[in-house]
Amino acid sequence: MAYSRREFILSASVAMLAGCSSAPVAKKSAGRVVVIGAGYAGATAAKYIRLWAPDIEVTMIEPNELFISCPISNLVLNGSKTLADISASYGALRSKYGINFIRDSALSIDVAKQQVRVANSKDLIAYDRLIVAPGVQFMYDSIPGLKDAAAQETVLHAWKAGEQTVALRKQLEAMRDGGVFAIHVPKAPYRCPPGPYERACLVANYFKKAKPKSKVLILDSNEDVVSKKPLFTKIWKELYPNMIEYRPNSELVDVDAASSTIKLTFDDVKADVLNVLPSMKAGKIAESAGLITANNRWCEVDFLTYESKAAKNVHVLGDAILAAPAMPKSGHMANGHGKNCAAAVIALIKNQPVNPTPMLTNTCYSFVTDKDVIHIASVHRYDDAKKTMVTVEGSGGLSAAASEQEGQYALAWAKNIWADVLA
């Protein structure tokens, strides 16, 4: 069944309701789409292409067995959640939507021949349209002391939810009462702008209960708090006085993993547990395919279609792209990328008009205790004159204050968006 442009636009606006839809019926293929990466962006795009256009074949390439959510993962660090609580199966994408799932890593992309090579097979996977949602890679080359794999296993980032999240929790549990947890924040842009400050709050929340003599030190490369500053600074003062210390302009020079010491421009800081978030850039497959075009870090795209400005018939989503002004690298935003890209890819395959006025919404919740939450929200629209997404004037805003009610909203948001991506 062919969908009109109007139906595509309408579908995008009510997409969160799609989890109740029944499985698409297989028809003669109208085209082949390959999706690399099954996070918030890639899995959403794959699902919605099949949902809105069941006659398009979709193959998804993802090395991980389970979806593990970065949003909510900081709750694992304070003991409120387990890794199982933030993990979900890809099963419905296969059984309900008929997506071909290849559990493997994409090794290379031949943009001329429109083929993808995976690590553990000699077979090449052909596509008409390719969606690359590789997330981020960490720029360890800029930190001499963390180039070694053993050092990386000692000084953790835990910025991709999974094994490192559990490992960092164990480091916190093993830390002496009276010790120091130091988190280093890279210069923006990076994945999840408020995430480091949320992590500091939740580690402090754990310390208040289990290790009350301990301290949290935020070493921020930025000049000031990047996101939700009025709320975070108020919370640090009121909830965690004399426990959380914030130091801006703390640019990283090097790390000594053996002594758990971070070397800054003007001083060295030793901590009992050191959590370093390296600078980030688009994932490795985007780099090897020549899709990185901005600052040697990010992929530029056409925001009407998310088609790469470096390669035809290749679309890039999520944290890997050069974001539009005031557009955060967040799970909610990546989910929106996936839906807008899905509608555009369908239109392109079927030679139909692409939606000229796409919109995106973002809501980002931050836990400041195990129950209390703050949020920031925004709405973004495509500006044809500027050829980019711009923030809708007067939209969104910050929480008035942290509250348990917002905590309930945050957990409901997580449950709903996981269903929207996977169910």
| CA terminus-to-terminus distance, the chain | 22
- Rounded distance, CA 82 to CA 84, Å? 5
Query: What contacts 387, CB < 8 A, 6 or more positions away?
Result: 302, 303
DSSP string, 21-56: PPPPPP-S-SEEEEEE--SHHHHHHHHHHHHH-TTE
- Rounded distance, CA 185 to CA 200, Å? 11
Q: What is the pLDDT of residue 281?
A: 98
Question: Which amino acid, 199?
Answer: R
Q: What is the pLDDT of residue 15?
A: 39
Q: What is the DSSP letter of 262?
A: E
Q: What is the DSSP letter of 154?
A: H
- Rounded distance, CA 355 to CA 347, Å? 9
- Rounded distance, CA 381 to CA 198, Å? 28
pTM value surpassing 0.75? yes
Domains and CATH numbers, the chain: 5-137+281-355 (3.50.50.60), 143-278 (3.50.50.60)
Angle at the Cα of 198 (from 215 to 194), degrees rounded to 5? 130
Its sign, for the CA torsion 228, 279, 307, 313, is: negative
Q: 331-349 vs 5-13: helix axis angle to the nearest 10?
A: 170
Q: What is the pLDDT of residue 16?
A: 38
Q: Which residues pair with 60 in a beta bridge?
A: 35, 101
Provide the b/e sequence for 377-409 (b: ≥16 CB within 10 Å).
ebebebeeeeebbebeeeebeebeebeeebbeb
Q: What is the pLDDT of residue 380?
A: 98
- Mind listing the pLDDT tens digit for each residue in 279-307? 999 999 999 999 999 999 999 999 999 99
pLDDT tens-place values along the chain, 423 residues long: 343 433 333 334 333 333 333 444 445 789 999 999 999 999 999 999 999 999 999 999 999 999 999 999 999 999 999 999 999 999 999 999 999 999 999 999 999 999 999 999 999 999 999 999 999 999 999 999 999 999 999 999 999 999 999 999 999 999 999 999 999 999 999 999 999 999 999 999 999 999 999 999 999 999 999 999 999 999 999 999 999 999 999 999 999 999 999 999 999 999 999 999 999 999 999 999 999 999 999 999 999 999 999 999 999 999 999 999 999 999 999 999 999 999 999 999 999 999 999 999 999 999 999 999 999 999 999 999 999 999 999 999 999 999 999 999 999 999 999 999 999
Question: Which amino acid, 289?
Answer: A
Q: What is the pLDDT of residue 27?
A: 55
